[in-house]
Amino acid sequence: MIQSLETPRLELRPLDLADAEQTQRLFPHWEIVKYLATRVPWPYPDDGAFTYYRDFALPAMARGEEWHWSLRLKSDPAQHIGVISLSTLENSNRGFWLGLPWQRQGLMSEAVEVVTDYWFDELGFPVLRAPKAVVNTASRRISEKSGMRVVVREEADCVSGRFLMEVWEITAEEWRAHHPNLKSGRRATRNATPQSDQP
Protein backbone atom coordinates (compact mmCIF):
# COMPACT_ATOMS: atom_id res chain seq x y z
CA MET A 1 0.00 0.00 0.00
CA ILE A 2 1.25 3.48 -0.86
CA GLN A 3 -0.33 6.83 -0.12
CA SER A 4 -1.35 9.47 -2.60
CA LEU A 5 0.21 12.86 -1.85
CA GLU A 6 -0.35 16.42 -2.92
CA THR A 7 1.38 19.78 -3.08
CA PRO A 8 -0.09 23.22 -3.81
CA ARG A 9 -0.08 22.49 -7.57
CA LEU A 10 0.35 18.73 -7.90
CA GLU A 11 -1.35 15.41 -7.25
CA LEU A 12 1.05 12.51 -6.69
CA ARG A 13 -0.67 9.21 -7.46
CA PRO A 14 0.83 5.76 -6.87
CA LEU A 15 2.22 4.48 -10.14
CA ASP A 16 -0.10 2.25 -12.14
CA LEU A 17 0.55 0.09 -15.18
CA ALA A 18 -1.90 2.30 -17.10
CA ASP A 19 0.58 5.19 -16.68
CA ALA A 20 3.00 3.47 -19.07
CA GLU A 21 1.25 4.77 -22.18
CA GLN A 22 1.76 8.43 -21.27
CA THR A 23 5.26 7.73 -19.95
CA GLN A 24 6.21 6.20 -23.28
CA ARG A 25 5.30 9.46 -25.02
CA LEU A 26 6.93 11.83 -22.50
CA PHE A 27 10.04 10.09 -21.20
CA PRO A 28 12.26 9.12 -24.17
CA HIS A 29 13.74 12.54 -24.93
CA TRP A 30 17.48 13.18 -24.87
CA GLU A 31 17.18 16.17 -22.52
CA ILE A 32 15.39 13.94 -19.98
CA VAL A 33 17.51 10.78 -20.17
CA LYS A 34 21.05 11.98 -20.93
CA TYR A 35 22.24 12.14 -17.30
CA LEU A 36 20.39 9.03 -16.13
CA ALA A 37 22.17 5.79 -15.26
CA THR A 38 23.00 3.38 -18.06
CA ARG A 39 20.36 0.92 -16.86
CA VAL A 40 17.98 3.13 -18.87
CA PRO A 41 18.12 1.65 -22.40
CA TRP A 42 18.90 4.04 -25.23
CA PRO A 43 17.48 4.22 -27.84
CA TYR A 44 14.43 3.67 -25.69
CA PRO A 45 12.38 0.67 -26.89
CA ASP A 46 8.76 1.06 -27.96
CA ASP A 47 7.59 -1.01 -24.98
CA GLY A 48 10.20 0.38 -22.56
CA ALA A 49 7.82 2.05 -20.11
CA PHE A 50 5.34 -0.82 -20.04
CA THR A 51 8.09 -3.42 -19.53
CA TYR A 52 9.82 -1.40 -16.80
CA TYR A 53 6.61 -0.77 -14.88
CA ARG A 54 5.35 -4.35 -15.22
CA ASP A 55 8.60 -6.20 -14.54
CA PHE A 56 10.49 -3.89 -12.18
CA ALA A 57 8.75 -0.86 -10.67
CA LEU A 58 5.39 -2.35 -9.70
CA PRO A 59 6.88 -5.59 -8.27
CA ALA A 60 9.37 -3.52 -6.24
CA MET A 61 6.46 -1.44 -4.91
CA ALA A 62 4.64 -4.63 -3.93
CA ARG A 63 7.75 -5.81 -2.06
CA GLY A 64 8.05 -2.52 -0.17
CA GLU A 65 11.44 -1.73 -1.73
CA GLU A 66 10.40 1.18 -3.94
CA TRP A 67 7.72 3.87 -4.00
CA HIS A 68 6.76 5.49 -7.33
CA TRP A 69 4.27 8.28 -8.00
CA SER A 70 3.01 9.80 -11.22
CA LEU A 71 2.84 13.60 -11.12
CA ARG A 72 -0.30 15.41 -12.27
CA LEU A 73 -1.25 19.05 -12.26
CA LYS A 74 -4.35 19.68 -10.18
CA SER A 75 -5.57 21.82 -13.05
CA ASP A 76 -5.33 18.84 -15.45
CA PRO A 77 -5.25 15.61 -13.42
CA ALA A 78 -5.82 13.33 -16.40
CA GLN A 79 -2.38 14.29 -17.79
CA HIS A 80 0.55 12.50 -16.20
CA ILE A 81 3.59 14.83 -16.49
CA GLY A 82 6.40 12.93 -14.80
CA VAL A 83 7.42 10.49 -12.09
CA ILE A 84 9.15 10.70 -8.73
CA SER A 85 10.45 7.63 -6.93
CA LEU A 86 11.95 6.46 -3.66
CA SER A 87 14.11 3.35 -3.34
CA THR A 88 16.04 1.41 -0.73
CA LEU A 89 19.02 1.11 -3.12
CA GLU A 90 22.32 2.13 -1.55
CA ASN A 91 23.26 5.73 -2.41
CA SER A 92 20.20 6.10 -4.68
CA ASN A 93 17.08 6.66 -2.60
CA ARG A 94 15.33 9.26 -4.74
CA GLY A 95 14.97 9.87 -8.47
CA PHE A 96 12.66 11.80 -10.75
CA TRP A 97 11.94 12.99 -14.25
CA LEU A 98 9.59 15.62 -15.63
CA GLY A 99 8.19 16.01 -19.14
CA LEU A 100 9.78 18.84 -21.14
CA PRO A 101 6.70 21.15 -21.31
CA TRP A 102 6.52 21.34 -17.49
CA GLN A 103 10.18 21.90 -16.65
CA ARG A 104 11.56 25.12 -15.09
CA GLN A 105 8.33 25.92 -13.25
CA GLY A 106 9.35 24.72 -9.77
CA LEU A 107 7.05 21.72 -9.97
CA MET A 108 9.70 19.11 -9.19
CA SER A 109 10.84 21.07 -6.14
CA GLU A 110 7.29 20.74 -4.79
CA ALA A 111 7.24 17.00 -5.46
CA VAL A 112 10.70 16.48 -3.95
CA GLU A 113 9.66 18.22 -0.76
CA VAL A 114 6.56 16.15 -0.08
CA VAL A 115 8.19 12.85 -1.12
CA THR A 116 11.31 13.45 0.97
CA ASP A 117 9.07 14.20 3.93
CA TYR A 118 7.29 10.91 3.25
CA TRP A 119 10.64 9.07 3.25
CA PHE A 120 11.50 10.35 6.71
CA ASP A 121 8.18 10.80 8.49
CA GLU A 122 6.06 8.01 7.02
CA LEU A 123 8.63 5.37 6.09
CA GLY A 124 10.99 6.19 8.97
CA PHE A 125 14.35 6.06 7.20
CA PRO A 126 17.23 7.90 8.93
CA VAL A 127 19.05 9.22 5.84
CA LEU A 128 18.32 9.92 2.17
CA ARG A 129 20.94 9.88 -0.59
CA ALA A 130 20.52 10.90 -4.23
CA PRO A 131 23.09 10.72 -7.05
CA LYS A 132 23.55 13.59 -9.52
CA ALA A 133 25.83 14.23 -12.47
CA VAL A 134 27.81 17.39 -11.70
CA VAL A 135 26.80 18.82 -15.08
CA ASN A 136 23.10 18.34 -14.27
CA THR A 137 22.78 21.77 -12.69
CA ALA A 138 18.97 21.85 -12.56
CA SER A 139 18.81 18.63 -10.54
CA ARG A 140 21.68 19.73 -8.29
CA ARG A 141 19.86 22.98 -7.50
CA ILE A 142 16.86 21.02 -6.22
CA SER A 143 19.12 19.15 -3.78
CA GLU A 144 20.80 22.38 -2.67
CA LYS A 145 17.45 24.08 -2.04
CA SER A 146 16.25 21.17 0.08
CA GLY A 147 19.27 21.33 2.41
CA MET A 148 21.26 18.37 1.10
CA ARG A 149 25.06 18.20 0.95
CA VAL A 150 27.58 16.28 -1.17
CA VAL A 151 29.16 13.29 0.56
CA VAL A 152 30.67 11.33 -2.37
CA ARG A 153 32.27 12.35 -5.70
CA GLU A 154 33.21 9.71 -8.25
CA GLU A 155 32.99 9.05 -11.96
CA ALA A 156 30.13 6.96 -13.30
CA ASP A 157 28.54 6.08 -16.62
CA CYS A 158 25.36 7.82 -17.75
CA VAL A 159 23.30 7.38 -20.90
CA SER A 160 25.30 10.16 -22.61
CA GLY A 161 28.76 9.17 -21.35
CA ARG A 162 31.02 9.13 -18.32
CA PHE A 163 30.69 12.03 -15.87
CA LEU A 164 31.78 13.13 -12.44
CA MET A 165 28.90 12.18 -10.16
CA GLU A 166 27.98 13.44 -6.71
CA VAL A 167 25.95 11.68 -4.04
CA TRP A 168 23.88 14.19 -2.09
CA GLU A 169 22.73 13.36 1.44
CA ILE A 170 20.41 14.63 4.13
CA THR A 171 19.57 13.02 7.47
CA ALA A 172 16.14 12.95 9.06
CA GLU A 173 17.32 15.40 11.72
CA GLU A 174 18.72 17.79 9.12
CA TRP A 175 15.55 17.55 7.07
CA ARG A 176 13.30 18.38 10.01
CA ALA A 177 15.54 21.28 11.03
CA HIS A 178 15.49 22.63 7.47
CA HIS A 179 11.71 22.11 7.09
CA PRO A 180 10.30 22.57 10.61
CA ASN A 181 6.70 23.17 9.53
CA LEU A 182 6.44 20.82 6.57
CA LYS A 183 4.77 17.82 8.13
CA SER A 184 1.88 19.83 9.52
CA GLY A 185 1.47 21.53 6.14
CA ARG A 186 1.78 18.37 4.06
CA ARG A 187 -1.53 17.08 2.80
CA ALA A 188 -1.11 13.34 2.45
CA THR A 189 -4.14 11.29 1.57
CA ARG A 190 -4.61 9.01 4.55
CA ASN A 191 -6.73 6.51 2.65
CA ALA A 192 -4.03 4.23 1.27
CA THR A 193 -4.38 3.47 -2.41
CA PRO A 194 -3.83 -0.14 -3.45
CA GLN A 195 -1.22 -0.77 -6.08
CA SER A 196 -2.05 -2.28 -9.44
CA ASP A 197 -2.59 -5.99 -9.68
CA GLN A 198 0.57 -7.57 -11.00
CA PRO A 199 0.31 -9.46 -14.29
pLDDT level of residue 179 (50, 70, 90 thresholds): confident
* Alpha-carbon gap, residue 129 to 104, rounded angstroms: 23
SS (H, E, C) 13-44: EECCHHHHHHHHHHCCCHHHHCCCECCCCCCC
For residue 183, name the pLDDT band (cuts at 50, 70, 90): low
Q: How far apart are CA 116 and CA 111, in angstroms?
A: 8
Reported confidence tier of residue 180, pLDDT bands at 50, 70, 90? confident
Question: Which of 194, 159, 179 is closest to 36 using CA atoms?
Answer: 159
> pLDDT value at position 198?
29
Q: What is the pLDDT of residue 75?
A: 98
Q: Is the pLDDT of residue 89 over 70?
A: yes
Domains of the chain (ranges; CATH) run 5-179 (3.40.630.30)
* Mean pLDDT, rounded, for 167-173: 98
Segment 157-176 mean pLDDT: 97
Distant-in-sequence contacts of 24-32, Cβ < 8 A, 24+ apart? 24/48, 24/49, 24/50, 26/80, 26/81, 26/82, 26/99, 26/100, 27/97, 27/99, 29/100, 30/160, 31/100, 32/97, 32/98, 32/99, 32/100
Task: Report helix, strand or coil for 156.
Answer: strand
Regarding predicted confidence, which is higher, 32 or 185?
32
